[in-house]
Every structure is written in structure tokens, then in C-alpha cells.
Structure 1
Amino acid sequence: MFPASSSSSPARPAFPRTPATISALRIDRETEIGETMMMGLRLTREGVSRARFQARFGADFVDIFAEQIARMLDFGLLEWVGEPEDALRLSPRGYLLGNRVFQEFV
């Protein structure tokens, strides 16, 4: 059984600013977009969802990164998943050169 919380208990800081946090760094929107692409492309099965990206940033990543995406598709390092082009992910060839692909977005 857990004790009931009391109104006298100290307020907890909001995540991610918890006692375990050593430091936090605010990033600008451009950096967040690039980091989102890089981290999403690491999800080798699902990749970066266009719908989720659009909901988060209010823009389509294809509009933001048109040249980079076209170049990586031409090199065979990225591939579309789903219809019509629901998500972008690393291709099997792109797995070996993932760091090169990520550089395009950050």
C-alpha cells in the first residue's frame, strides 16, 4: 500500500528537470527538426513518419529537406515506406552508411 500524498510534500520538478538531471540545453526549432530526422532514421523499420513530423512541426519534412532526400534516394541510401510515401527510412544499403545520411539532416 502506498501512502497518500500530502499537501505538505515538496513540489516535484517537471520532466526532464528532475533531481537526476545534471544539465539541460534548450535547442532551437531548426536543431530540433534535424535531430528528429536523425533519430527517426535510426528507427530502421519505421523510419520518420510524415504525419507525426507534420503534427509536431506543422511542416512536411519533404518540403524542408527536398534536396537532401532526393540525393539520398538517388544514392539508394533512403527508401519510402507505405503508400503514398508515409514514412522515410534507411535502405539496407543505407544501414552501412547511416552516419553519412544523418549528416544531411543536421
Structure 2
Amino acid sequence: MPDPTPEQIRASLADCNLRRHAWRCFQESTRRNALRIARITDRKDTPMTQQTAALPVDPARLADLLLAPGADSNTLYRQLAGQVGPRPARQALAGAHSIAAERLWAETA
């Protein structure tokens, strides 16, 4: 097999650098999303039960909707945001997701 040309070496290095950059961007966006979700769901000064009790929407009912076949969290969020506003909708869905996860965990245990 012949030695690679300088152009092939540069192209290979550029491809590796591009992949490395894409991976770092993915990791950073995942970290930012995780931090944003943590800010919504984990308020250190207020327990989650007190947060969800003040919401205009029942997170337990939303959890039922999320666990229904064919449920779409994004569509549910858009409907809720139109009714109660974006921040209460995010908080209610965060509570609903944790309730739904607990229910699924209990079913598998």
C-alpha cells in the first residue's frame, strides 16, 4: 500500500478534528441541558412536592397522560404553555416526568 499523500493526511486530520469538535459540542449541549433540567426540578430551597402543589396543573394527571400510548411530551408542553404559561408548564412537566419515572421504576421492580 502506498504512503498517503500530504493532502490525504491533512484531510484525515481535518476529519478527526471535526469529529472531535462535534463530540465536544454534543457533550457540552448535553451538560447544559442537564443543568437546565436540574435548575427546573431541583430547587434546594423548596422541595419538589411544594413546588408542584402550587402549580395550576396536577403533575400526577400529566404523568398519566405521559404514560399513555402515543404520548408526546412536546405537544403536551405546547398545549400547557398556551393555557398556563411556559414556566408553569415546564415545572408541571418536570414533576410529571419524575412521577412517571417513579411509576415505571415501581412496575419494573
TM, length-normalised to structure 2: 0.30
Q: Counting helix residues as a fraction of each chain, which structure ranks higher?
A: 2
Q: Counting strand residues as a fraction of each chain, which structure ranks higher?
A: 1
TM, length-normalised to structure 1: 0.31
